[in-house]
């Protein structure tokens, strides 16, 4: 009889170990691929084929925010979604397309086609394992074309389905696009230890005469804002005056008051993004 009990215990032990892992993970927080064993990923795939892939960058974010701000935001928001849904988060790259920030030290950048290929080849392994529903959480505007190309390629060439998660929070103030009020507030909420508010200074913005003309005419024809914004975030070699160091004195892109940033505003923005993602994931699960 004792032998039978021991045999049953030996058979149940692996299940108990895996079960206790998922229970402890649910209590502790997010599921992150790199923190899991292959056994745990295998157990996860028996019941769930979803995965979130954060996209970020390593680029200048003014004198007060870390170079990894976009990566940290995408990763931390993805983890908050994981905490509420149990979906695995799989960070693959900490770099993105950031060449137009290259006038400041420490910036890393790879070509969009290189980034697309590296991510796609990595995702192919995930698809081979059994992941079939892939969601991207993009924290960097320069990666938009990469995300678009990846989604198209995955959907057109593999068995998986890929989509982009909504990253819009509260409505941003005009031209508060990079390291400004909104982004600094989010970092104050997500990674406060990395924010150096004593170094936060409103930049001197040096727009070209062409940009200023477009801004002036956009008051009567708002559609011209499309042309104005198309000139920003462009490489120095294009001679458009749109590289970060050409039009911003310290790398920050904002006309907003940096002294009005707050952790509360950051939390509000993050909560909106997380809530929308959770609602979407729950709806997708129910539909399929």
Domain boundaries, the chain: 29-171+267-287
What does the pLDDT look like over 223-262, one tens digit per residue?
999 999 999 999 999 999 999 999 999 999 999 999 999 9
Give the Cα separation of 219 and 25 in Å (integer).
53
pTM for this entry:
0.90
Per CATH, the architecture of 29-171+267-287 is what?
A: 3-Layer(aba) Sandwich (3.40)
Range 180-200 average pLDDT: 98
Report the pLDDT value the prediction gives residue 11, as an integer from 0 to 100. Answer: 44
Helix residue ranges per DSSP H, the chain: 2-28, 38-45, 69-85, 112-129, 144-157, 181-190, 209-218, 225-231, 244-247, 263-287
Note the pLDDT of residue 28.
57
Q: Torsion angle, CA of 94/117/142/147, rounded to 10 degrees?
A: -100
Q: Is the pLDDT of residue 12 over 50?
A: no
Which of the four pLDDT bands, split at 50, 70 and 90, describes residue 172?
confident
């Amino acid at each position: 009889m004792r032998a039978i009990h021991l045999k049953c215990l030996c058979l149940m032990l692996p299940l108990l170990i895996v079960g206790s892992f998922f229970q402890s993970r649910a209590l502790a927080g997010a599921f992150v691929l790199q923190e899991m064993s292959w056994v745990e990923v295998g157990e996860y795939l028996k019941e769930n084929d979803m995965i979130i892939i954060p996209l970020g960058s390593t680029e200048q974010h003014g004198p007060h925010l870390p170079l990894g701000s976009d990566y940290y935001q995408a990763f931390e928001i993805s983890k908050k979604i994981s905490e509420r849904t149990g979906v695995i988060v799989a960070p693959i790259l900490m770099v993105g397309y950031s060449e137009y920030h290259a006038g400041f030290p420490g910036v890393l950048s790879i070509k969009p086609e290189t980034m697309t290929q590296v991510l796609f080849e990595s995702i192919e392994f995930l698809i081979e394992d059994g992941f079939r529903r892939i969601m991207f959480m993009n924290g960097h505007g320069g990666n938009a074309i990469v995300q678009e190309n990846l989604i198209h390629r995955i959907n057109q060439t593999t068995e998986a389905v890929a989509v982009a998660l909504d990253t819009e929070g509260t409505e941003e103030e005009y031209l508060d696009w990079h390291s400004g009020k909104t982004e600094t507030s989010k970092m104050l909420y997500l990674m406060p230890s990395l924010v150096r508010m004593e170094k936060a200074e409103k930049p001197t913005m040096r727009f070209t005469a062409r940009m200023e003309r477009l801004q002036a005419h956009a008051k009567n024809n708002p559609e011209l804002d499309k042309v104005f914004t198309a000139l920003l975030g462009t490489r120095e070699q294009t001679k458009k005056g749109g590289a970060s160091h050409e039009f911003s004195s310290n790398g920050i892109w904002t006309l907003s008051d940096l002294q009005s940033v707050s952790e509360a505003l950051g939390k509000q923005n993050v909560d909106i993004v997380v809530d929308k993602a959770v609602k979407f994931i729950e709806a997708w699960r129910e539909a399929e």
